[in-house]
Structure 1
Amino acid sequence: MGNIQKQSITASVITYVGFAVGALNTWIFTSGFFTAEQYGLTRIMYDIGYTLFALANLGSVSVMYRFYPYYRDRLPLQKRDLFGKMFLVSMFGFLLVSAMLLLFKDLFIQKFSGNSPLLVQYYYVLFPFTFFFLIYSLLEVQAWNHYASVVTAFYKEFVLRVLTTLLILLFLLNILDFDHFIVLFSLLFGCISLGLFLYLRRKHAIVFTLKTSQITTRMKDKMVPYGLFISLVSFCGILAKTFDTILISSVLDLSYVGIFTFITYLTSIMEAPQRGLIAASLPVIAQSWKNKDRGRIFRIYQKTSINMLLFSGFIFALVWMNLHNAFAIFHLDTIYLRGETALLILGVTKILELGTGVNSQIILTSRYWRVDFVTTVILLVTLIPLNYLLVRKYGITGTAWATFIAYLLFNSIRFGFIWVKFKMQPFTFQTLIAIVILIINYFIVTAIIQVASPLLEAILQTALYTILSAFLIIRLKVSEDANNVFNAGVRRIKEFVARSR
């Protein structure tokens, strides 16, 4: 995959370094320094802000990565008006969303005051959080369109978490009370937005112009319906991702949101390769559709599928085998173990989702982009009633089951559509080999290594599982990219040794 491979690997490394910082933050949040309700508030604020962003951007983010290749190929930077136009559209959308928030404030209070009074108390921070999340998202897609996904990963996955760590330390040192902590927390996306903007300006990768170009004049009749349609699609898709915590905070309370946040953080570790791969492959897929290069899209589809399956399966195996040891080693509050069953269900769900590769990006950038809306509506129509039924009866485990059922149906439909319409499907015999390797190695390692010390057991199990899995994946050539990375590493080591003599 060349450039995609390099960018996705670098972005994934940055993301995992960021996850290490995030793990520190999560440890502090779950070790008694914050209440489960306070930790849950940081998550629900993100989820509500993310949902409001989906409405506020009015499809501008999707329009930028869908149509920017035409501007990049035919206009100099100074005449590319797409960013300026989409910025204004997004600001208009934010004003509409803000008005809606104020209009329905009483309803919001009514729904959440009983079980989540802390959310009602900090209602006002949703405005700056949503605004700066919107600004960053516009800058992020602009960077993607200039093949700078590594930089966006650095700011979003690493810098954002480091800034969160600094806020946590200020809170622990009693320099900030919780009121000021939450206010500053809502401004963090503003900080990384400034950093990314300055980078884009320095690299001459962004310009703000409102003078309408010929391309905009010619393509506006396609952009407007696409943007509005994708805005609805995006809202449905994001609501499907955030509805669970919003419902939990309303039906249960913020402490359960905190527990659910903890287990979703553990499963989110599996997504690091996906974030890098999507950021790197999205503009390439869009360009390939423009060039009618289906062969390239098919290769990306298969490679992203096997790579994300391997990464997600490997990481989840490590998380699951080390779960109880981690609680003992880091003295985590055992209240969070209430989500253990939900963690298993969500982990399997995430593996199934990631294993289907970039199916969403293939559909969304094709001329059948409306199918993305149909499948997303099916997801939402399945997820919402299942959540209502199951969360009331089974708590957060019910939410996990609802997510599993809905996403299994959702990804099956998308997989089937791409297979039938484009004659593409991402699975090969190597997919089966990958699954067998990951599962068999898990049972071998956990059966062989059982010691009294949680720390020693965690180290030995992790080391043996990593060595066994890596050896078999490379030996059996399960992933071409994995072998390329391994061979490149061996070559560099040999070169280093040769220079040292």
Structure 2
Amino acid sequence: MGIVQRQGLRNTIISYFGLGLGFVNTALLMPRFLAADQVGLTRVLLSLATIYAQLAAFGFASAGIRFFPYFRNREAGHQGFLPLLLGLPMLGFAVISLAYWLGRPLILRAYDADAALLGPYYGWCALLALFTLLYSLQDAYLKGLYHTAFSSFLQEVLLRVLIAGVTLLFGLGYLTFHQFVLAYILVNSVLALLLTGYLAYIGELHLRPTRAALQVRPVRELLSFGAFALLSNISGTVISSIDALMVGSKVNLKAAGIYTTAFFISTALTIPFRSLYKIAFPLLADYWKEQDMARMAEFYRRTTRLNTVLGCYLALGIGLNLDFIYSLMKPEYAAGTTIVWILLAGRLLDGITGVNGLIVVTSPRYRFDLVFNVALAAGTVGLNLLLIPPLGMVGAAWAALLALTSINVARTWFVWHAYRLQPFDYRIGLILGAAGAAALAGWLVPPVHSLFVTMLLRSAALTVVYAAGVLFTRAVPEVQPLLQKLRGGLGA
């Protein structure tokens, strides 16, 4: 097994373990011990630092991955690539930091209702942004070296274990809230230092600058690619972070805490989609290379069908048991119940429309992926500005749903118009019908004395009715061979 395969396998295992830890931290542990405005503060600080760092990097993390093969020469210290990769973003950090400090009154005025809570940590946010920037640049360098498992372990596992640890220390009374926030910033920052130590350990910490680094590829080319990557990266960050920032600004940090907790509850729905997309990406690239449109069309329909059957089941499983999930937290978080349902609808639609985004990004018209991402980011911001003032944090959820719906309709149409590929057949209707019947069965289960027992009964009703509906209608042909083997085994 080669290094790429080994690193890929390790990354997959680490990723799924990390997803579980992340869900426990953000959807269960922190809401149990922290008030909503306290959770909102941590999310706003992290989102601000992420955007701050991405602007400073100017896309150089992506440029590092793209251009490192031209510099690769271990004996020559990769021709001064690492100092070049770090140097220009450090200049960018200085410029963005100046703007950040000059903009302090404006930013704090945007969070006027909670300025007393946010203000003491304004400077600490700059420190967090610096270490976030250093982590992303070193992570890009390690990707070029094909050493990705350690950085994945730090980000997906160690960070979440440390956050769980400081949260428990706060919940047990060993830390004040001020100490908790500083510890939260510290554990997010220390990852960059651990990566530096790892680079030294593997003998790849080459910090001596050389003039050769400026001659391997024109700096203008790196900057041009970086600008393109910045636009793409910042669009992704806006899509994932702007709603929490805008809820915190337009409403208050308490609402931001409730919203982000609901947001993370809904992310459980995306786990099977992410798994499928990791497999889909290289397969679609191969289909394009071979111009095998028939197999691509079949794969498009099959993945959409599987996403629909898994997505409906998980969405209903989460939605029907929100009373139990919220019983594990402080009571104030239950105000996010409606938000979870709306976000689940958006994520389900995103999964049901299949792998349209991956088809675009692996196709000859891959540049349209940037157009769609920028449009989604702009639509998300615009809809938040429109809907948060009258509807509060629920407006942010509706903005996310409407933006996702619009962009997925546009992507699906684009793939059909450009390549005559579409993912739907009559089986999607059968799956949705089975999901509707299962939802009704689960909803009709009356509450009993225990929320936990109610959760078990509703989940059982949902599972039995949904499985029966899917199997009876033969809506998922991929299941039939497995079912026949099971019958054969029982018959034997």
TM value normalised by structure 2: 0.79
Residue 189 of structure 1 and its aligned partner are, at CA, apart by 2.9
Residue 419 of structure 1 and its aligned partner are, at CA, apart by 3.5
CA separation of 1:92 and 1:424: change in aligned 2, threshold 3 A: farther
Kept in 2, the 8 Å contact 1:21–1:158? The answer is no
- Structure 2 CA distance, aligned partners of 1:351 and 1:432? 15
Amino acid at match of 2:62: S
- Structure 2 CA distance, aligned partners of 1:125 and 1:212? 35
Secondary structure at the counterpart of residue 58 of structure 2: coil
Q: Which residue matches 1:45?
A: 45
Q: Which residue matches 1:188?
A: 187
Secondary structure at the counterpart of residue 122 of structure 1: helix
Q: Which residue matches 1:127?
A: 126
Q: Which residue matches 2:411?
A: 414
Residue 261 of structure 1 and its aligned partner are, at CA, apart by 1.4
Does 2:24 match 1:21? yes
Q: Which residue matches 1:405?
A: 402
How many residue pairs get aligned? The number is 477
90-99 or 465-474, larger mean C-alpha shift: 465-474
Matches within 5 A, 1:441-480: 441-447=438-444, 451-463=448-460, 465-466=462-463, 476=474, 478=476
123-132 or 213-222, larger mean C-alpha shift: 213-222
Amino acid at match of 1:14: F
Secondary structure at the counterpart of residue 289 of structure 2: coil
Q: Over residues 22-78 of structure 1, what are the superposed CA-to-partner deviations in whole Å (9 max), with x where a residue is unaligned?
A: 26xx434334x432211110111122222223312212233345566xx29x96666
Kept in 1, the 8 Å contact 2:431–2:475? The answer is no
CA separation of 1:221 and 1:115: change in aligned 2, threshold 3 A: closer
Matches within 5 A, 1:140-155: 140-141=139-140, 153-155=152-154
Residue 97 of structure 1 and its aligned partner are, at CA, apart by 2.0
- Structure 2 CA distance, aligned partners of 1:277 and 1:358? 9
- Structure 2 CA distance, aligned partners of 1:422 and 1:77? 44
- Structure 1 CA distance, aligned partners of 2:426 and 2:140? 35
- Structure 2 CA distance, aligned partners of 1:343 and 1:433? 25
Kept in 2, the 8 Å contact 1:143–1:205? The answer is no
Q: Which residue matches 1:61?
A: 61
Residue 271 of structure 1 and its aligned partner are, at CA, apart by 2.8
Q: Which residue matches 1:497?
A: none
Matches within 5 A, 1:5-404: 10-11=13-14, 13-19=16-22, 21-22=24-25, 26-31=27-32, 33-66=33-66, 71=69, 85-141=84-140, 153-195=152-194, 217=216, 223-275=222-274, 284=282, 292-293=289-290, 295=292, 298=296, 305-306=304-305, 308-328=307-327, 330=328, 332-364=329-361, 368-404=365-401
Q: Over residues 295-351 of structure 1, what are the superposed CA-to-partner deviations in whole Å (9 max), with x where a residue is unaligned?
A: 4994876666555544443332221111113334x3x33322222222211111111
Amino acid at match of 1:62: S
TM value normalised by structure 1: 0.78
Residue 278 of structure 1 and its aligned partner are, at CA, apart by 5.6
Residue 454 of structure 1 and its aligned partner are, at CA, apart by 1.5
CA separation of 1:168 and 1:456: change in aligned 2, threshold 3 A: same
Kept in 1, the 8 Å contact 2:18–2:160? The answer is no
Residue 403 of structure 1 and its aligned partner are, at CA, apart by 1.7
Gaps of at least 5 residues in structure 2 are none
Residue 178 of structure 1 and its aligned partner are, at CA, apart by 1.8
CA separation of 1:47 and 1:407: change in aligned 2, threshold 3 A: same
CA separation of 1:129 and 1:419: change in aligned 2, threshold 3 A: farther
Q: Which has the larger radius of gyration?
A: 2
- Structure 2 CA distance, aligned partners of 1:300 and 1:143? 33
CA separation of 1:95 and 1:293: change in aligned 2, threshold 3 A: farther
- Structure 1 CA distance, aligned partners of 2:185 and 2:205? 26
Q: Over residues 70-122 of structure 1, what are the superposed CA-to-partner deviations in whole Å (9 max), with x where a residue is unaligned?
A: x29x9666676666643334333322322221121121122223344312221
314-323 or 75-84, larger mean C-alpha shift: 75-84
Secondary structure at the counterpart of residue 113 of structure 2: coil
Amino acid at match of 2:108: I
157-166 or 59-68, larger mean C-alpha shift: 59-68
Gaps of at least 5 residues in structure 1 are 495-501
387-396 or 442-451, larger mean C-alpha shift: 442-451
RMSD of equivalent CA atoms: 4.3
